[in-house]
Chains A and B, each alone.
Chain A
Amino acid sequence: MTRLAHHPISEPLQEASAQEASAPSAGFPDIERIRRDFPILGQRVHGKRLVYLDNGATSQKPWAVIRAITRYYEQDNANIHRGVHTLSVRATEAHDAARRTVQSFLHAADAREMVFVRGATEAINLVAQSYGRAHVAAGDDVLITAMEHHSNIVPWQMLCEEKQARLRVAPINDRGELLMEEFERLIGPRTRIIAVTHVSNALGTVNPLRRIIHLAHQQNVPVLVDGAQAAPHLPVDVQALDCDFYVFSGHKVYGPTGIGALYGKAALLDSMPPYQGGGDMIRSVTFEKTTYNELPFKFEAGTPDIAGAVGLGAALEYVSELGMDYVAAHGQDLLTYATEAVGAIPGVRLIGTASQRAGVLSFVSDHVHPHDLGTILDREGVAIRTGHHCAQPVMDRFGIPATARASFAVYNTREDIDALVEGIAKAHEVFG
């Protein structure tokens, strides 16, 4: 069985806080210019200015992404890695370039460590099915937290069921913060992998990843980080974090749907069996023996979503040009403003009040059910998410069936939050 080498931690263990990110310099980037980059924002919904606050579900796409995909299909489309003709070479180069962009976005050491997948969900399934099935046996533990999205619960449940292993769940407090002492206590000699979200999609909690990873590595346990909600809001440096796997979805970071990435340390990925069989993931095939391709192609069976990768590359270049420090600071400004404004409305209770949060404001009202609020806000042009946010255990933890969730992006403004607050007031009038 492959066990991890001990990972020395050289960095100090303080968390990189989004709040510490430098404030945007005056006048740059211009928010109106950013808004013009997103054509969908120009429309009216039910006669009102569209206020899109459902970015935690999926973000809108800038021209840069839309045009990159169109240009790819208009000029470069061909299959990759197999043709000697010009278009195939161009498509292959575009695909490779996108991979290097993702690598640079996550600050990974090597492009071979970036596996293209359909999204965070598929990435977690890949690790559970490949690494998990090879390393988890009967009586072993898989450790997650009580704030995980269903996609970081169910793949591990499936694995544990198959292997007769135990799924352990580290609890959270009433503010939505991981109880670190409990978490540490749950890491034991049978713990084979820890899967934890970077930012909670239902609560906005930013987890203390460095501490989590440090504790796990002290016991030689690898850590998978679900970065689906973090990648749009925080600078991510997988080397500084020293996480073993990091996953995210492109469509939440202004890219197209159907494409995302799995980062895994090369040594780990190398040691893992393939996830799916097919074309592109093999070096040679006879009916007796198949030799698998090198990283990352070993994990990319079949013709990939080439246009999706190109679109994702364009999206990550777009946010990188804005600067992730700016993106984080802007998001933090909106979250602080929204927390005060929405939290001040009589009858409204915020769900998730961790000291470190990003991107998401979840709340319930004494006067109006989230579903009714969602309908009334929609008529005001305000799009929010209502429901359990694919995190039913989180709802159970707080004893509520659902919340209303506003989630932010680079193109949102304080004016958008004012519209949200006015919409809530209007809903309270209806149900007053």
Chain B
Amino acid sequence: MTELDELYQEVILEHSKAPRNYRRPEATNRSAEGYNPLCGDRFTVFLDVEGDAIRDIGFQGSGCAISRASASMMTQSVKGKSKEEAARLFEEFHRLVTGGAKTPEERTILGKLAAFAGVSKFPVRVKCATLAWHTMQSALEGKQDVVSTE
């Protein structure tokens, strides 16, 4: 498989074309906006948080295939998780796309998100893959500023 095929895995292409949870949940009580000025990607992540639990999550906005698929798969991965689990997942995801988490064992926690391993061969695309995650983190922390990847 070429590096390009590894980057644009079938599951990533599929999510980029038909993103899941592309909506604003009715019970949204936290949200944040993320922006990558380099390429113009811009997403809003909406959360319905109760206590420590992420009851619902959605996103809207525009961006490249990697950022869109990443946002879509992130919403699936963190829905129903605790804030702490979501933070842990982001940590592992970040390790994956920056060239860490090389063994299958290390990737267990990531599940389907392991499809993003190919991003590590394209350092300029790491920001695309992590934009929605940074934005979610910001929403969880209740920050008001637009998250920028720059």
B interface with A by C-beta (< 8 Å): 2-4, 7-8, 13, 17, 37-42, 62-66, 122, 125, 128
Question: Which residue of the partner chain, among A368, A379, A388, A395, contacts B4 with CB atoms under 8 Å?
Answer: A379
A interface with B by C-beta (< 8 Å): 368-372, 375-376, 379, 386-388, 395, 401-402, 430-431
Q: In the complex, are the beta carbons of A431 and B40 less than 8 A apart?
A: no
Q: In the complex, are the beta carbons of B4 and A376 less than 8 A apart?
A: yes
Q: In the complex, are the beta carbons of A369 and B65 less than 8 A apart?
A: yes
Which residues of A lie under 8 Å from residue B122 when comparing CB positions? Answer: 375
Q: In the complex, are the beta carbons of A372 and B42 less than 8 A apart?
A: no
* Given known A-B contacts A375-B125, A431-B13, A401 and B65 have beta carbons under 8 A apart: no
Kindly list the 5 A-B residue pairs having the minimum CB-CB distance in the complex, ordered from nearest: A401-B40, A371-B64, A369-B64, A402-B40, A371-B39
Q: In the complex, are the beta carbons of A372 and B65 less than 8 A apart?
A: yes
Which residues of A lie under 8 Å from residue B39 when comparing CB positions? Answer: 370-371, 386-388, 401-402
Q: In the complex, are the beta carbons of B40 and A388 less than 8 A apart?
A: yes
Helix, strand, loop or mixed for chain A's interface?
A: helix
Question: Which residue of the partner chain, among A371, A388, A401, A430, contacts B8 with CB atoms under 8 Å?
Answer: A430
Which residues of A lie under 8 Å from residue B3 when comparing CB positions? Answer: 379
- Per the bound structure, the CA–CA distance linking A319 and B146 in Å amounts to 45
Q: How far is the CB of A368 from chain B (nearest CB, A)?
A: 8
List 6 additional A-B contacts (Cβ < 8 Å) besides A431-B13, A431-B17: A371-B125, A372-B8, A379-B4, A388-B39, A401-B40, A402-B39
Question: Can you list 17 A-B contacts (CB < 8 A)?
Answer: A369-B63, A370-B39, A371-B39, A371-B66, A372-B8, A372-B64, A372-B65, A372-B66, A375-B122, A376-B4, A379-B4, A388-B40, A395-B40, A401-B40, A430-B8, A431-B17, A431-B65
Which residues of A lie under 8 Å from residue B38 when comparing CB positions? Answer: 387
- Per the bound structure, the CA–CA distance linking A387 and B41 in Å amounts to 9
Q: How far is the CB of B127 from chain A (nearest CB, A)?
A: 10
* Given known A-B contacts A369-B63, A431-B13, A401 and B4 have beta carbons under 8 A apart: no
- Per the bound structure, the CA–CA distance linking A20 and B42 in Å amounts to 43
Q: In the complex, are the beta carbons of A430 and B128 less than 8 A apart?
A: no
Q: Of all chain B residues, which has the CB nearest A403?
A: B40
Which one of A369, A370, A430 has the greatest number of beta carbons of chain B within 10 Å? Answer: A369
Question: Which residue of the partner chain, among B7, B17, B62, contacts A401 with CB atoms under 8 Å?
Answer: B62
Which residues of B lie under 8 Å from residue A430 when comparing CB positions? Answer: 4, 8, 13
* Given known A-B contacts A430-B13, A431-B13, A371 and B41 have beta carbons under 8 A apart: yes
* Given known A-B contacts A379-B3, A379-B4, A430-B13, A387 and B65 have beta carbons under 8 A apart: no
Q: How far is the CB of B65 from chain A (nearest CB, A)?
A: 5
- Per the bound structure, the CA–CA distance linking A402 and B39 in Å amounts to 6
